[in-house]
Amino acid sequence: MALETLSPSRAGDFKTCPQLFKFRAIDRLPEPATVYQARGTTAHMALQRLFDRPAAERTPAALYDLFREAWSELRLEEYQGLFESVEDERTWGIESLDLLANYFTIEDPTSFDPLDRELDMLEDLDGITIRGILDRMEEVDGRLVITDYKSGKAPPEQYALPAFFALKIYALLIRRRIGRTPDAIKLIYLNGPTVYEIPVNDAQLEAMDRQLRALWKAINTAIEQENFPPRPGRLCDWCSFQDLCPAFAKPNGEQAAAAAEA
């Protein structure tokens, strides 16, 4: 079985842990919904819809209402039974609105209109088909910027660079689609709140293109050889596949939690 398309998120999975990539992209195993995932998905929908409003109506109150509307759509479709009680759901909702309030300390949504939002990307990079959805692209003061929203906590600045991996791929796709290199890529972390932005140039995108081709080759080799070695680390604490992962299996079948400390 050859890989037909690759998303920036799945490419990141393979870099992090080939076994995680297999569980998600090859085996397509379901993962349990979490309150954090629900918050992130709902917040993304609300932020995208905020820019459907006229600039003067892009207020905190409007964003809160959009969050409530989005949650009313998602809660029965994707997250039914997520909360044990109405009170738990209410507490989650209040915490989510507090998180969204941080957005207005980061940027003023009345001051610009994005060029695109939720942009569906499907680009052939000379034999590698990349598919994904870009949160936002805007032009501010003549600078083309692509932006990704994050509802989780921002990493310390000295460890933030790997978080730009997916956005660099999107920058490569944008260059292919419109023939223009983005000037910058930006991560907006609502939990903090924090903004990280780095400049982009053609040399960086050429390096990303080479890295992506090496990843594509490594993934297809792993598929051919049916070899997806786990890569234990601190992120294992957040992985929902520990019960299935060979890195956590002792000879007697017990979980080897110590593997994550390697």
Report domain extents, the chain: 8-27+114-223, 35-111, 230-261
Residues 219 and 209: their CA atoms lie apart, in Å, by: 15
> How does pLDDT run across 97-150, given as a tens digit for each residue?
999 999 999 999 999 999 999 999 999 998 899 999 999 999 999 999 999 999
Of residues 244, 245, 220, the one with CA closest to residue 231: 245
Task: Kindly give the interhelix angle for 165-178 and 202-225, rounded to the nearest 10 degrees.
Answer: 110
Number of residues that make up the chain: 262
User: What pLDDT does residue 160 have?
Assistant: 86
pLDDT at position 162 is 87
User: How confident is the model at residue 258, as a pLDDT?
Assistant: 46
Contact 226, 22 (CB under 8 A): no
Those residues of the chain that have pLDDT short of 70 are 1, 250-262
Q: What is the pLDDT of residue 86?
A: 96
> Model-level pTM?
0.90
The tokens describing 38, both together, are 């629900």
CB environment 141-165: b (16+ within 10 A), e (fewer): eeebbbbbbbbeebbeeeeeeebbb
Per-residue pLDDT, 251: 60
Q: Which residue has the tokens 């090496």?
A: 214
Instruction: Record the tokens describing residue 118, joined without a space.
Output: 């939720």
Q: Tokens at residue 181, please?
A: 């290199």
